[in-house]
Structures are given as C-alpha cells and as structure tokens.
Chains A and B, each alone.
Chain A
Amino acid sequence: MSMQAREEILGRLKSVRKNTPAARPAKPVLSEINLDKGQLLQRFTSELNAQTGTVYQAKDKEDALRILSEIASAETLKFVLTTSDDIYGIDIRAFGSQNNISVSTVQDFSDRDAFRELAFTVDAGITSADFAVAETGTIGVIFHKDQPRLVSIAPPVHIAILPVDKLYPIYENIVEQVFRNTDKIPSQFSFITGPSATGDIQGVHFKGMHGPAKIFVIFIMNK
C-alpha cells in the first residue's frame, strides 16, 4: 500500500512541466570569516554569555581541573556523568576524587536502560565537544559510542570541554567536516547554543525547560 502511495505522489509531482531553476545569486559572505583567533574567542564568549552560558579559558590540563572544581563547588555537584574519564587529557576521575564527587563514565554501561536511568539522575553531564562556532557562541557535538546523546541533554548542568583549535568562525566550517565523508556521517550531530530555554508562558523567559539550565564551555588553550 505504501509503495502505491509513493508511486501516486511522485507520479503527480513528476507529471508537471519542469522549468529549469533560475540561477542563484552569489552566496552571501559572512563577516565572521575575517576574525582572527583572539576575536573568534571574544565573539564566542560574548555570544554565549548573552545566552547565560559561561566560557572559561584553561591555560592547560591542570588549569582545566581547577576550573572544573570551581564549577563543581559553585553548583554543589555531587554526582556527575562523563563521556570519558579522559577528556582531551583531563582526568575526570581525579577531579571527582579531589572534590568528593561521584563520577560515572559512559564506558561503565552496556545496558541502555541503566544508562538512561542514570543520565536523568546525575547533577551534571561532562562531555567533550567536537567544534565551537564563534558566529553564535555555539558548540558542535558529534554523537557516537563514547558520546551518547543524553549526557548533554538530560542532566540539569552541562559542562563541555574542547581545545581552542576547534573554534571556527561559521557553521559551514563545521558542517562541511561532519558531512564531507559520506561513510562517516554520525547518526546525530547537534549544534548547542546556551541552555535549554522557553518563554511559552506569558512570554516569561527562563532556562532549563527540558534540558540543562546551565552550560559551561571550557577551552583548553595549550594542549
């Protein structure tokens, strides 16, 4: 029945006289492509701050650990879920034991339901990010075995860590990389800009509708 529907619908669409599409005008150029490294970081930070997100520049791995501890104490984190115990060289388990925080990693799970249960229970999700975009203070996350989707959407706090060389001017720089190799397109890819938000009741805006209410992005400046 559904094949028949397909044939009927496509048949009708194809029965129509086809015109050659008009030539497109030149693709508009964005000014962000001219920003230098410092400006990119500045732009990213001001854009994400406008969405109440916080941006840190960690000098190195040790500095990143210090920043993580700072966030953990400000947000009184007790229980976190991380995509790996080693995010770009940062030892998340060490961070846990230093701060008396219980750490679960994605690799601890083979059962989908148990993982899901936990993702909805923890105080924060710590993930790597694959890209950052200065254009709008956005991070780009490719989902795969070691980057399950729920870690960055279910917990009330999301902490994302990435090296600063993954910061690009515009979305095209990233989408081109994600979709270039057709054999390696991820099952899901997301642009994340600030916390989850709504203004659906009386136009009153607040963060943390379904996803995280707070987001922290830590750039590692020197690997």
Chain B
Amino acid sequence: MHSRVDQFMEMARKEMKNELSQTFLKLVTFWAPILRQTALSSFPDPVAAESYSRAIRAEVIERLPELLEEFEKNAISRGVKVIWARDAAEANNIILDIAKRKGVKYITKGKSMITEEIGLNDHLIKNGIHVYETDLGEVITQLLSLPPFHLVGPAINVPPEKISEIFLENGILKEPTTDPVTLGKAARMFLRKKFKALDMGIVGVNMAIADTGSFINVENEGNIRMNKSSPKTLIAIMSLEKVVPNSADAIHMIRMLIRNCNGRKITSYVSFDTGPKKADELDGPEEIYMVILDNGRSEIYKDFKARSILKCIRCGACLNTCPVYMKIGGYPYGFVYTGPMGQAINPLLLGIENTTDLYRACTLCGSCKQICPAGVDPPTLFLEYRSRAIRMKNAKDNWTLLSRLANTVVTVFSFGMSQGWAWSLGVKCVRPVLNFLSKDGYIKDIPMGIQGWFSCRDLRAVPEKTFHERWKDLQNKPVPLADIAKKEVI
C-alpha cells in the first residue's frame, strides 16, 4: 500500500471538520469500549484472562524462530506448500506466478491487512488478474480506492448514496438505493456468481498453530469460508508473527481477539484449516500455498527496544480507546494500520524518519497500553521513536546553536533526574535563585523562562526547606500524638 503518512496533519484537520466522520467516530468510540467491557466480563476473572493472553504473546516472541519452524514442518507434512517471502515485491510475485500458472480468470480475497500492506491487489490487477475483495467493507473501499477508516468497519463512514453510485457503475446494483441492507444484498448476489465459478481464493491468517500446522480465520460474513471452500487453489498469506504454540493457546487468543475486536464473544465463523482437502472430499482446496511474509519483521525482531510490537494481534481495541483516533479517524494515518497500532508499527515498516507525525500525535495517556490483550506498550515505543528521530537528526551534523543548547539542557536534566543525589542538590540550589525573583511571596516572571506560563498565573515563592528536609526534621523530633491535630506543626 502506498503510504500517505506525510499528509497526516492535513488529513487530520480535514477529518476533524468532516461531520460524517465525526458522527461515526463518536458512535464507534462510545459503543465499542462498552461492548468490549461487557464481552470481557463473561470471564470469571477478566484480568487473569488478559494476563494469560499477554503471556502467550510474550512467549511467542521469545520462541518465534522455533515456533515458525515447527509450524512449517507440520504444515508441510499436511500437504501445504510453504513459501517464505522476504518483502512485499517477493510475496506479490510469488502470488502472481501461482495465479498465472493456474491460468485463473480472477481471484477473490478475504479481508486481510497483510495483503493491503504489500499492495497485492494493485500488483495483480496491473498484471492482468482481477481481484475482487469480498468483505463488504473492503468491496466498498476497493471500488472507491479509500484507505480504511476503521479496522472492523473500513467503510462504515461512507454514505450510502456514494456506495449506491459506485455499485451502479460497477454493475453490482441495478436501481439506485440508500438502504444499507439492499446494498449489502446486491453485493451478496454479485459475489455469489464469483464464488460459484472461482478457481483461486486468497485469505489472510489470524493465527497459525505450530504443533498442528493449522491456520485459523475469524470472520462474520462467511466470505472467507467461501474462499476456503469453493476454489481448487487457496493462497493463505501471513506475517511471520502470527504463530501460536498449540490449539489451546489459539482458543484463548481467539476469545481475547474477538472480545477486543468487536465486543462479541465469538464471530459467526472461526475455521481451522489443516492441509488441503482429502482426495475423497467434494470441495475445499486441492492445493494450499502458505506464504510466510517477513517484510521487515525479522529486522524488527532484532531490535529489542521495538520488537514488542510483534506481539500485536490486530484486534483494533486500541483505536477505540485512543483520544487522538477518536478525533481524527483512520484516514490521516495514511497506511493500512491505523490508531496506536499503526503509530507503533508504521514507523518500523516505513521508516522512523518518514513517519514523524505518527509517533508525535500521542498524548502518552497510556490507554492503549492498558487495554492491549497482547501486552504491547505503544507509548514507550513512541518515546523510543522520538528519541531515535532526534539522534538521527543530530547524527547528520545538523547541529544548530539552539539544538545544541536544547541537547545540553536535556542531557543535564536527564542526568539530574536519574541520580538521587544530583536531583536533591539541584532542587536545593534552585531555591535561592527562584526566591530571589519573588516579590511579596510570589514569583511573577522568570527571565528567559517558560514562555506563557506567567501570562495567567503566578508561582508561589518556594519554602526554604524541601519536603524531604522537613520530613527528616520531623523524624528527629517526633510530634507528640496530642499535637498532631495542630496543623501548624507540620
């Protein structure tokens, strides 16, 4: 997918003025956390359930190469053709080659973020093989060439008039309508014809089970089951961090994924595929190609300060709780991954130097970290990216007097704040200086100080002794119990 991250500010301003976007953002970000909470409360101990899923993901990251090899071995023994792809171009070409070799007329696709990450549709269409998205939201975003507005409802904000228009243009609809159900049923009828004569389907993967070589898809619409049932050839593509040790872990992760994703306890369909169809089966794929995609992830894996992002299971819970996403929606993020999830992963995929606005558009409130079922800590990642960006900038010898000064001040500060004795000394020394500026018990201005602070408030003059000093005095000279009520003692 072509990145439009550079237009972040511009798009964010635009979306904040877009009434329709604002209406849906209010609706989604109000209801989604409530539904999520309700669904999680079906666990006798929701906190324990969360700790357990976080532990699974943490273990997966530690054991990643070993789990991948185990998955590969078992998948191959079941008859799956496993192909590794280093990057987007390689994965796209692998899939194009298979499609060409099979001589397929068209391909249908289940909703998959990874194929959007690598721009698979564009590549196939450019090379003469038409791809039909089959998830209703994705059908709409594909026809309108829109980025996803929300992880679960990528086109939830698109007005029905616009959908009607584009459906008419593409022969999906015969009479204009603004009824969402009529529009949906029209897409159903259109795609049924495609499913019925389908030669090849492409699906993403929600989870892969190492000890059986199975892969799992979670969905509501049934389009993925169609893709896995009707055609003779199936391509599944997964990024390499999707693996879990065993089926019991997968079940727990599915419970957590769905509750966090759409606030339900289960989706309509959760299907486990272990190898192609048996010879005597009437449907299902005769061949399954499993493309395991790296696309930068093995480099991220080597980066200990950033690799925890590989725990992410793409549930999207962090979107609905993010105060920034709540205001700007999915478009400004300019890439397939939106919200805190996108702010954390996109800089690693697209380059920290190209995505400044993403990791700066955060208040560090920590809400995403608190609710993450996989144990990702986006705010800490953002701080890391910010510091890397500064270091990169300085490393290029772009020093100015101001940046040197800022750097020195921050270095002194960080030293002072990390050493107890230095901090104590600092607060002691700064007192007479501050009080020197005070008048009638108030400090009204500091020359060369923080601009703006004193425009509407004053600072009280600082007491001579620090809290710690007074505390120590108090310990040496205990106050009789009877006197504690007399506040002036303290």
Contact = CB atoms under 8 A, between A and B. Distances in A.
B298 interface: yes
Nearest to B61: A21
A13 B44 contact: no
Contacts of B299: 12
Interface stretch (A68-76, A86-94, A96-104, A108-116): A108-116
B180 A204 contact: yes
Contact of B278 (A109, A187, A208, A211): A187
B230 to A, nearest CB: 6
B240 A190 contact: no
* Most chain A CB atoms below 10 A, which of B69, B135, B222, B301: B222
Interface in A1-45: 2, 5-6, 8-10, 12-16, 18-22, 24-31
A211 B230 CA distance: 13
Nearest to A215: B268
A13 B180 contact: no
Interface stretch (B187-195, B336-344, B376-384, B471-479): B187-195
Contacts of A176: 247-248
Contacts of B278: 144-145, 187
A196 B220 contact: yes
Given A6-B84, A9-B298, A109-B282, A20 B62 contact: yes
A136 B265 contact: yes
Contacts of A136: 265-266
A145 to B, nearest CB: 4
A175 B250 CA distance: 10
Contacts of A204: 180-181
Interface residues of A, number: 78
B1 interface: no
Contacts of B84: 2, 5-6, 9
Contacts of B271: 188-191
Contacts of B163: 201
B221 A211 contact: yes
A188 B281 CA distance: 11
Nearest to B28: A203
Contacts of B173: none
Contacts of B90: 5
Given A28-B48, A191-B271, A201-B156, A172 B248 contact: yes
Given A28-B48, A201-B155, A188 B68 contact: no
A60 interface: no
A2 B269 contact: no
A182 B284 contact: no
* Most chain B CB atoms below 10 A, which of A26, A51, A120: A120
Nearest to A136: B266
B251 interface: yes
Interface string B209-227: 0001010000011110110
Given A197-B268, A210-B188, 16 more contacts: A2-B85, A22-B59, A25-B51, A31-B44, A149-B284, A150-B229, A150-B230, A154-B226, A185-B212, A189-B271, A198-B221, A200-B137, A203-B27, A203-B153, A209-B188, A209-B221
Interface of A: 2, 5-6, 8-10, 12-16, 18-22, 24-31, 47, 51, 106, 109, 112, 115-117, 119-120, 135-136, 138, 143-145, 148-150, 153-154, 171-172, 175-176, 178-179, 182, 185-204, 206, 208-212
